[in-house]
Amino acid sequence: MKEYNAAFFGLFENLFLTLKERLGAEKALNLFREIMENGLKKAYGSDFIKGQPDEFQRLVGERDNNVGLKVDFEFTDSNKQNFYYRFYDYPFPNLKGEVNPENLDDTFINLKVNYLLGDDWAYKNTKHIWNGDELTEFLIYKK
């Protein structure tokens, strides 16, 4: 496991804070979402089978590991239609108090789910480090 890449994530934190200061929180989130979506699409590429939870876990796990995020995945059913995606550290710790955590999470989790799994998948946040939980957890499920 690589070490958390503070410089990489710090750049995004500074970008968000600058956007928020100049444009307000709502516009900052919208632009941040576009930036995250463009970057993540390039990072994941197109050489994968969309809609496959195993592929999601492989691609997301590899990418997260490469930027030093400790994550894991756990299927909740034998059909692999529901699984947990857990962060043991948070990618943007310095934005705590600057933005609602669910709104910030949506700027990168939504794209991961829709791009890699498809529109018939969704997610919900079940735990968050910023709320005092030991980890940040998303339940990803087929609608």
Helix (H) or strand (E) holding 129: none
Residue 2: band (very low, low, confident or very high) from pLDDT cuts 50, 70, 90 = confident
Q: pLDDT tens digits, residue range 89-115?
A: 999 999 999 999 999 999 999 999 999
Mean pLDDT calculated for residue range 37-59: 95
Ordered strands of the 71-75 beta sheet: 71-75, 82-87, 136-142, 121-127
Domains of the chain: 6-142 (3.30.1380.20)
Q: How far apart are CA 72 and CA 50, in angstroms?
A: 20
Q: Are the C-beta atoms of residues 71 and 61 closer than 8 Å to each other? A: yes
Task: State percent of the chain over pLDDT 90.
Answer: 97
CA nearest neighbour of 40 among 68, 18, 62:
62
Task: Tell me what the mean pLDDT of segment 75-101 comes to.
Answer: 95
